[in-house]
Amino acid sequence: MAPAERDGRRAVMATLRMHNFINGTWQPAQSGSWFESRNPARPGELVGLFPQSGADDVDEAVQSANGAFEDWRALGLVKRAEYLLRVARLMEEDLEPLARTIAQEAGKQLNEAKADVVEAIHMAQYAFAFGHLGQYGRVLGDEVPTKRCYEVLEPRGVVVAITPWNFPVAIPFWLTGLSLVLGNCVILKPSECTPLCGAKIAGYFEQAGIPGGVLQVVHGAGGTAGAPLVAHPKTHVVLFTGS
């Protein structure tokens, strides 16, 4: 999982510092800036500090994703899907601790937080199954008897997934699971209200052995991290849940 630095200035409890996950490594924002994540049910409780990413961090992630794309695309549908199954199994093993993280950071009741994790597991399993069904596309009918029409699914390239706080583990898997299986590289920007949940997701993919640049997590506010991701000329699809 992500390395954590401890702030020695805290006498009672050390402060957790988490990093971006870019090109298979954990790194702070190039600016050196951080933002806080707090428990909404107990505002005095600091969950941790997270990198306030900017355009330079975004550009590094986008370049890494584009660099990884051709090899990931060439790996094949079935082999790509295997990574989602590994991630699903890791989340199953970590269900209780991950649910507690969601409860702490999103302010959910524990039973709702567990449901969030279960939904994410199911989505990862679905993405795995989709890969093994070999659904590259479909054959379509035509009025000309000798004509064959096909609809073929092809990866677009670099997918940006911007996700909200209310389902901080489930929704990222709605957006990333099939995108990855179909051969895209994904940059996830989790909500700045639930960044630890996003870091946990990156950790599972790291444990699953995902190649560098294929799945990345960039933290930060919408204006400093989200906007540069959306506007970057080398991102090809934006998946956004929010308002």
Number of domains present in the structure of the chain? 1
Q: What are the structure tokens assigned to 149, written together?
A: 């029409």
Range of the domain at 192: 46-240
158 within a domain of the structure (yes/no): yes
pTM for this predicted structure:
0.91
Which residue shows structure tokens 């006498």? 11
189 within a domain of the structure (yes/no): yes
Q: 1-10, 13-22, 172-181, 199-208: which has the minimum mean pLDDT?
A: 1-10
Q: Helices 170-181 and 110-133, interaxial angle, to 10°?
A: 10
Strand order in the sheet with 185-189: 25-27, 20-22, 215-217, 185-189, 158-162, 237-240
25 within a domain of the structure (yes/no): no
75 within a domain of the structure (yes/no): yes
> Is 91 in contact with 98 (CB distance < 8 Å)?
yes
59 within a domain of the structure (yes/no): yes
For residue 65, the domain's CATH number is 3.40.605.10
Per-residue pLDDT of 207-226, as tens digits, reads 999 999 999 999 999 999 99
34 within a domain of the structure (yes/no): no
29 within a domain of the structure (yes/no): no
Q: What are the structure tokens assigned to 145, written together?
A: 């008897």
CA 39, CA 42: separation in Å to the nearest integer? 5
223 within a domain of the structure (yes/no): yes
CA 212, CA 27: separation in Å to the nearest integer? 13
Q: In this structure, what DSSP letter does residue 240 have?
A: E
Per-residue pLDDT of 126-137, as tens digits, reads 999 999 886 667
Per-residue pLDDT of 128-181, as tens digits, reads 999 988 666 788 888 888 888 888 889 999 999 999 999 999 999 999 999 999
